[in-house]
Amino acid sequence: MASQEHAEPVGLVRFHRDLRLATVARDLWRARALVRALTERDFRARYKQAVLGAAWSVITPILMMVVFTLVFAKSQGTSTGGAPYPLFSYLGLIPWTFFSTSVSQGSSSLISNQSLMNKIYCPREVFPLARVGLAATDMAISIGVLLVLFGVFRYPPRGTAYWVVPLLLIQFVFAAAVGMLMASLAVYFRDLLSVLPIILQVGLFATPVAYGLSTFIPARWQGLYVAVNPLGAVIDGYRRSLLLGEYPRLGLTLVGAAGAVGYLMVGYLIFKRLETGFADIA
């Protein structure tokens, strides 16, 4: 008996996370109602006491459109392919604002929901994904304004507009990937919340929002550029399909899609690696 009581403990028991795509997709699908509820909660909280309400979601891109029009419209290096410059710039601001909101709001999503994380069990991804849903709501309102602008400038969308669907998918994957990555890192490195607005401000001018992709990015570097910043391929594709009646450049679109998927894989792995400390540290 003595020998049994003082027997050496068995080997360490390790917890292995199941990161298979089917398992992850199933868990997130089961939590879809929670994502929707969190999105609705955040949307109501943001505009609850705002006089203009949801109109704030389009005021910023409209003001930026006006500023870009005054500064860049007559620039010799800015070519819109014959499309009105306000439409050209606003079509770049919609995906950028979506991405910026997803990342900036998503970065604090775990920290602001610490009490909820300690009360219920759910995939922790739902918190940054809910902020992506919030950004998507704002984008839907911005698209309504875009349709008005098409009427104002008498420049209807071209017949190749259906290419918007795959481009939207790339945009969502990229935003969700970076949002989850920033959310997980911000739990451990709070300074990131102060640095991130500066990074996003620089990113606005490093992304072809006010100008075309070919304006400042040489052709030989465009593939590398959109791999690092898939929004470059997305915005260029939107403009070609909606404004110019052209197909998005297949090579750049595929590279941008691969870059977005790469960000998702890396961001999600880091997210799951750091997940065990979210409830305690946040």
9-47 residue pLDDT tens: 555 444 456 666 677 778 777 878 888 999 888 888 877
Provide the residue range defining the domain that includes 173.
35-281
Residue 269 included in any domain: yes
Measuring CA to CA, how many Å separate 91 from each of 9, 109, 145, 155, 226? 63, 27, 11, 13, 17
Mean pLDDT, the chain, as a whole number? 87
Question: DSSP 3-state assignment of 73?
Answer: coil
pLDDT, one tens digit per residue, over 233-261 is 999 999 999 999 999 999 999 999 999 99
Indicate the range of 48-52, 68-72, 78-82, 252-256 predicted with least confidence. Answer: 48-52
pTM for this predicted structure? 0.88
Query: Is the predicted pLDDT of residue 4 greater than 60, yes or no?
Result: no
- Higher confidence at residue 82 or residue 169? 169
Percent of the chain with pLDDT over 70: 88
Residue 25 included in any domain: no
Residue 43 included in any domain: yes
Cα angle value 138/123/12 (rounded, 5°) = 150
pLDDT classification of 114: cutoffs 50, 70, 90 = confident
Residue 208 included in any domain: yes
Residue 232 included in any domain: yes
Residue 17 included in any domain: no
Residue 15 included in any domain: no
Tokens of 204: 């606005």
- Residue 272 has phi, psi (to 5 degrees) of -70, -30
Residue 19 included in any domain: no
Total number of domains constituting the chain: 1
